[in-house]
A and B are shown apart, each in its own frame.
Chain A
């Protein structure tokens, strides 16, 4: 049972035509039809460039995906990562039958439900309850199934008070909560989730990730998850594939996959953070990349930790406040590093730049941590990213005792060598 392949993607390719559609459409269609009539191959399938966003190609046809192969086993959570335009969304669209592949085939042994967007088909004039029914049916549930789960869905959404109010009166966060609640109670064999968690607050993101985890662990269901949020991918997935220019460039373990992805292109980290949409603030000052210890040394307990914030600043800011919070399990705040509370004041000039913060000795137990970054000016939020990035603290023999401090029984933070007296 454990090793049963539930989804098999074989040699899937997808071709798109670039440029403005209109001129030449009929002539290409007729030419294609003429070839088909004589039993010949489609002339436009032979041409086409590989999918590279930033290079100039020769052909007006481009392969968004070319020869993609992979398998997913039952109960696996597969993370699909890749740069913008690498073909992730195209792949998900083909898997969820929104569009067909140009070549290749996908074989599945289970019902697929996709969540490429939350709240598809929500009608603003209808109440929350009516929308649950409509959205559930769009996602493939029968009325009976929805009726049996409606209380659970309303409870999960946390919108009990508003459930009989038209959704046009909802805040955007509430709409997302309601929509995700419906999707989370789908019971497909394979659930496809695109970057939908980018919306919603931290508490809800955690709830959503927890729900997806339990779907796969307890329900034995398979999840395909696309995200730019590496922290979420690491938390949730059991396997990762990397798409690069329409091809699978890596398939394997999560930790290996993520580090592979982050190193194959040093720009990726910056792309990741700069493309994150779940940020708050006016973005006049924006953190594009966070690097640790010059990007080469690993982070070791008891040793210094240098955090570099690469930013882009639209206007010069006189007295900026920068606050970094190190968290465990996404939201448990461990410590805060803040220039104002340390009595350090500085201004930042317009344009690109780097702010370095060095913690002289990092007294944290060896584990995974995440970072929230907050910047503000005169109490106006400039940029605020929750779970901006993650890092791992490696164990070391801090006090030369022959033992590393790496057990969580001893807490999370430890002090420097203390004065001990025995009177």
Chain B
């Protein structure tokens, strides 16, 4: 009898543990949000100046709140310089290595994120700038740290990223149109600064703060034609590329010289 009770208790605690894990939100386990993108491949050609991709989706639980997140699959390793005053001059006084921040990060939400989910869930699913701040790691590589550095560097990074249109958060129903609580559409702008690689667009449906639906699209950005050839050659055959660059330059210089030289004798 005692043994059975023990086993029952063990099972119960395991279930509680399992439940706890489940409560830690597993997006893939939710109902599928069926989505479609106007294109899944963006090609960078000579006249590329960024692109716009339209997304359409069906909300599996009508009337729920929607948050859509665009991130680059790669995280960035970047270094930030912090300037400070030394005598009359401004110079770099410290440097931070930052890891774990996504290269690109955009969010469209049908209303403010904090009204849709709790801070804990937002952090879990990496929704909102605060979640990024928790995730990224800063390491002082030069200079002396001060307590406000973390905030300063984080705000500085947001400013740089937002200026390049690589980060933004729009919490506005006008930006994420939902028809009859079910059909939604919106678009993401990929700025020219968005480099080659894979990007994922995740759609989350929340009902009273709980995740009830999830969908994912993958968008790939690739260089094509001359752009691709120049990039590949410069990175993989640097000796050939360097010599080519010099020859083309000398050739072009002399050619123009000859053309103008002839013109000058008239």
User: A and B: partners?
Assistant: no
A positions within 8 Å CB-CB of B? none
B positions within 8 Å CB-CB of A? none
